[in-house]
Amino acid sequence: EAGVTQSPTHLIKTRGQQATLRCSPISGHTSVYWYQQALGLGLQFLLWYDEGEERNRGNFPPRFSGRQFPNYSSELNVNALELEDSALYLCASSFPGQGFDEQFFGPGTRLTVL
Partner 1 sequence: SQQGEEDPQALSIQEGENATMNCSYKTSINNLQWYRQNSGRGLVHLILIRSNEREKHSGRLRVTLDTSKKSSSLLITASRAADTASYFCATDDDTASKLTFGTGTRLQVTL
Q: Which residues contribute to the site for partner 1 (CB under 8 A)? A: 4, 33, 35, 41-45, 48, 55-56, 58, 88, 90, 92, 99-108, 110
Query: Cis peptide leading into 8, omega within 30 of 0?
Result: yes
Strands 109-113 and 10-13: parallel
DSSP 8-class letter at 101: S
DSSP 8-class letter at 96: T
Nearer to partner 1, 1 or 102 (CB): 102
* Shortest CB 92 distance to partner 1, Å: 8
Q: Which residues contact 16 (CB under 8 A, 6 or more apart)?
A: 80, 81
Nearer to partner 1, 67 or 110 (CB): 110
* Shortest CB 16 distance to partner 1, Å: 26
* Shortest CB 32 distance to partner 1, Å: 13
